[in-house]
Amino acid sequence: MPSACEIQRRDRFGATPKPARGTRALPNPIRAAMTPTLQIFLIVSGALFSIGLLAALSRRHAIFILIGIEMMLAAANLNFIAFWRFGPQHQPPTGVMIAIFSIAIAAAEAAVGLAMVIAVYRHYHTTNVDQLDQLRG
């Protein structure tokens, strides 16, 4: 006799169909292709770096330039991790340590960069880098 909880679950979600006797799941030919390879990571990293470079070079606002630089750093971190992962086995996690160090540097760079953008915005009331040609030391 099913309990009240099982009856409520069945009413809510429907009964789970049971496979017929003698049937087996067919092998999935796509599953073997879904294994991540170094080539996939490098393609994703290259695309991420290209988008970051495009954002850093084509934007006029300082915030978008900083975001582009952060995207390029993320692409470099992905490369470090990918080459460490697909390198020879039983090696020290050098790629991971470099990526963690790079993330710490990126956090400090973002904090200093945003502080500079806020200071410039308070003085000039704009973050457009084309209008910041009057900066003097």
Which alpha helices (H) appear in the chain, and where do they start and end? 4-13, 38-58, 62-85, 94-124
- What was the pLDDT predicted at 75? 96
Q: How confident is the model at residue 14 (pLDDT cuts 50, 70, 90)?
A: low
- All structural domains of the chain with their residue ranges: 31-124
- Give per-residue pLDDT as tens, 42-52: 999 999 999 99
Q: Which fold has domain 31-124?
A: Helix Hairpins (1.10.287)
Q: What is the pLDDT of residue 91?
A: 82
Residues 6+ apart with CB under 8 A from 93: 84
> pLDDT class for 59, splitting at 50, 70, 90?
confident
126 by Cβ neighbours in 10 Å (0-12 / 13-18 / 19+) ranks as: middle
